[in-house]
Amino acid sequence: MSIPLFDLNGKVALITGATHGLGMAMAKGIGHAGATVVINGNSSQEKIDKAVAVFESEGIKAFGYRFDVTDEKAVVKAIDQIQHEVGSIDILVNNAGIIKRTPLAEMEVADFEEVIKVDLVSPFIVSKAVVKGMIQLKAGKIINICSMMSELGRNTVGAYAAAKGGLKMLTQNMCVEWAPFNIQVNGIGPGYFATEQTKPIRIDGHPFNEFIVNRTPAGVWGNPDELQGAAVFLSAKASDFVNGQILYVDGGILATIGKPSNE
C-alpha cells in the first residue's frame, strides 16, 4: 500500500525553538499530519512543559527537551536521550534563532558572533548530531528555517542576514552530502509574520509596519499557521525528490520590487 503523500503517521519530528512563535506553529502542523512531535527550548522547563501541554490539548503526541542548541555536548546528549526515549528522529526542523537589530557600525563583535552561533552554527551542530541516525536509516528530512534575509539585506539586521544567507548555502551543502543517503535537506524562508520576534517593528504607527504591508503584494503580515503547509510538505513523502531548495512563504515579497505607498 503506498504511503499517502502528506501522511506523517509513525514519524518522529524534532523542532528546535518550538515553545512559541513560528516553531510552535510549524510543529503543530507536523503533529496534526500525524508525527510525534519533540520540541526543544532553552528557556525554563516550565515553559517547555506548558508548550507540550498545548500540543497534547490538540491531540498531538508531544515531548519536550531543554537543551542549548549551540552547545555540541548538550546537543549530542539530548539527541541520544530522544532516540532512546522517543525513537529515531525522522524529521528535523532547525528553527531556533535570535535576532539583534543594531547598525553594523555600532554592533559589538560579541553580539555579531552570538547571532551567527545561534542562527548558523547551531543548525550545523544539531543536524550533525541527528544525521548519523538518518544515514543509518537511509531516510530523513531536514528543514532549515531561513529568512527574507537569506536573499535580501535590511538596515540593522546585518548579523542576522549573514547567518541566514549562510544557512541557505549550508542547506545546499547538506543536500549535496546527504542526498545519497535518501535524506532531503531544504529550507523554508518565512516572509514577515506576526510573532513576538517581529512585535517591536509591527506595532501600529511604526514606519516598518506600513512599509511591510506595502512591500508585501498580499498586503498583510503572515499568520504563523500559514507556514504549516510548507513544513508538512517538506517533511513528507511528497517532497522526496525536492532537495537543496528554499521554499519562500512570503506573501509575494520576493516577487516584487515594491510599489509606491500611494498606489
Closest CB to ligand GCO among residues 149, 174: 149
142 CB contacts (<8 Å, ≥6 apart)?
91, 92, 94, 127, 130, 131, 134, 174, 178, 183, 184, 185, 186
Cβ proximity to ligand GCO, 83 vs 197, nearer residue: 197
Residue 192 designated active-site: no
Contact string (CB under 6 A) for ligand GCO, positions 14-33, x = contact: --------------------
Q: How far is the CB of 86 from ligand GCO (least distance, A)?
A: 30
67 vs 50: CA distance, rounded Å: 16
CA-nearest of 252, 236, 228 to 24 is 228
Q: Which of 65, 160, 192, 248 is catalytic?
A: 160
Q: Which of 134, 149, 175, 227 binds ligand GCO (CB under 6 A)?
A: 149
Which one of residues 55, 65, 192, 233 is an interface residue with ligand GCO (CB under 6 A)?
192
| Shortest separation between residue 89's beta carbon and ligand GCO, angstroms | 25
Count of residues binding ligand GCO (CB under 6 A)?
Answer: 14
Say which residue the cell 490538540 belongs to: 58
**Residue 248 interacts with ligand GCO (CB under 6 A): yes or no:** no
Do the Cβ atoms of 13 and 30 come closer than 8 Å?
yes
Cα separations in angstroms, 93 against 38, 193, 257: 10, 18, 30
